[in-house]
């Protein structure tokens, strides 16, 4: 007897997803509620748990296929031990490896117990790395592309391949031009559509300023150890900027508002979408009621979201809503950028890298740790005067953090 595994309800208004990766192979034992597949929706990756304990049965769809909510994607057979995989099921385990693939790496990747995503599997084949000998840093110990690349850099050069097993690629002349086509993930497609929609719909404009980070850096250096000891979380820059945005939004409410048809919706709360990097692209989980949170609460919330994003565990609820976005490109080394708003929001604050620059203070040229700030906004709702005022308040609060304490 077998039990069907169906695509679960994915969230409001979401009716389909892409089967991104199988996490269990036919014939492997499965525990109840153990994830057996990963689905990619428009916003996040969702794991499909097994409804019962048993043996993983045949796949009904392959990786990369589009599936609707309620569709059957696999079956769980009764039993507790490893079962032989039928030939038909084995052929559906993954897209067939073409005859041009090198036999040795293929055997290593298919015989490994580690679940490999299509991108990782392809990289393993290209580099000739045995995935069973690599320690994965992804969720549940899964391998990431970074794990494979790091292992390849530290591994000795592979032995020369015999003529009987050499691939056409191996015999290609040095410097051969190659191309690879990879289908965009559903998340990447959605990101592309939303960003283009923002450009087509909103009247986007960006205003810039720079901020002296000396006071914040000094405060962090003075209190970071005590802060972490008391709250169990590191004191970062995002807490300061989030509090500064909350302060500025009180004086310039249009920046925290949105257009809905022919009406303007003003929010008396601040839900900050924090752009963080995830394996499949940039995602923006929401720190809710950030204006009422302490530094420690803000830092903890952002840290938790970062960890969940890296593990691919963000939920629909984590991503929904948001009235304003903060995007920190500085962690990747960006000096300056013009961020695009996250619809239906009307503004986004871009942070950039901190670098020592010569500035004039009291008639003297001095060196200060400076950062460029960029505020992109929808000019249909926010006037230039309001945007400049908002950014100026943020700058003043960062350069004199006491303003955050006395609400000035």
Active centre residues (catalytic): 379, 383
Full DSSP string of 162-180: PTTT--TTTTSPTT-----
Tokens of 143: 């391998």
Do the Cβ atoms of 289 and 298 come closer than 8 Å?
no
CA distance 232 to 225: 10
E strand segments, 11-112? 16-22, 29-30, 35-40, 45-49, 54-59, 66-68, 72-77
**Which residues are within 8 A (CB) of 333 and not within 5 positions of it... i.e. 6 or more apart?**
353
Map 37-56 to HEC letters. Answer: EEEECCCCEEEEECCCCEEE
The three-class DSSP label of residue 351 is strand
* CA max distance for the chain: 84
What's the start-to-end Cα distance of the chain, in Å? 69
CA distance 134 to 356: 40
Helix then strand then coil, in percent of the chain rounded to 5, is: 35, 25, 40
Task: Please report the sign of the dihedral spanned by the C-alpha atoms of residue 150, residue 154, residue 160, residue 162.
Answer: negative
Task: Name residue 365's beta-bridge partners.
Answer: 360
CA distance 315 to 325: 18
CB atoms closer than 10 angstroms to residue 272 = 29
Do the Cβ atoms of 255 and 377 come closer than 8 Å?
yes
Do the Cβ atoms of 27 and 55 come closer than 8 Å?
yes
DSSP code for 280: T
């Amino acid at each position: 007897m077998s039990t069907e595994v169906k695509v679960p309800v994915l969230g409001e208004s979401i009716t389909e997803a892409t089967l991104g990766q199988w996490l269990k192979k036919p014939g492997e034992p499965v525990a109840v509620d153990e994830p057996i597949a990963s689905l990619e929706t428009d916003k996040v990756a969702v794991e499909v748990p097994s409804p019962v304990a048993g043996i993983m049965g045949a796949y009904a769809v392959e990786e990369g296929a589009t599936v609707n909510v309620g569709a059957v994607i696999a079956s769980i057979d009764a039993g507790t031990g490893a079962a032989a995989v039928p030939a038909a099921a084995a052929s559906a385990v993954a897209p067939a490896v073409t005859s041009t693939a090198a036999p040795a790496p293929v055997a290593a990747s298919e015989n490994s117990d580690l679940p490999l995503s299509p991108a990782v599997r392809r990289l393993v084949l290209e580099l000739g790395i045995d995935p069973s000998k690599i320690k994965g840093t992804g969720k549940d110990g899964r391998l990431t592309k970074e794990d494979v690349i790091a292992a390849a850099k530290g591994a000795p050069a592979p032995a020369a391949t015999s003529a009987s097993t050499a691939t056409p690629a191996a015999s290609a002349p040095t410097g051969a031009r190659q191309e690879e086509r990879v289908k965009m993930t559903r998340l990447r497609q959605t990101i592309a559509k939303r960003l283009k929609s923002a450009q087509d719909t909103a009247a986007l404009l960006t205003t810039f300023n720079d901020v002296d980070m000396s006071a914040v850096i000094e405060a962090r250096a003075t209190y970071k150890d005590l802060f972490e000891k008391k709250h169990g979380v590191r004191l970062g820059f995002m807490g300061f900027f989030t509090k500064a945005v909350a302060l500025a939004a009180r004086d310039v409410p249009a920046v925290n508002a949105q257009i809905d048809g022919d009406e303007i919706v003003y929010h008396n709360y601040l839900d900050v979408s924090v752009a963080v990097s995830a394996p499949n692209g940039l995602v923006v989980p929401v720190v809710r009621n950030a204006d009422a949170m302490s530094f420690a609460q803000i830092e903890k919330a952002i840290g938790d979201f970062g960890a969940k994003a890296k593990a691919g565990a963000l939920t629909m609820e984590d991503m929904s809503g948001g009235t304003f976005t903060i995007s920190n490109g500085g962690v990747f080394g960006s000096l300056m950028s013009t961020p695009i708003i996250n619809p239906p929001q009307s503004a986004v604050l871009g942070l950039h890298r901190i670098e020592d620059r010569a500035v004039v203070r009291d008639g003297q040229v001095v060196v200060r740790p400076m950062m460029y700030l960029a505020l992109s906004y929808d000019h249909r709702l926010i006037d230039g005067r309001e945007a400049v005022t908002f950014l100026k308040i943020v700058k003043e609060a960062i350069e004199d953090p006491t303003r955050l304490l006395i609400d000035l």
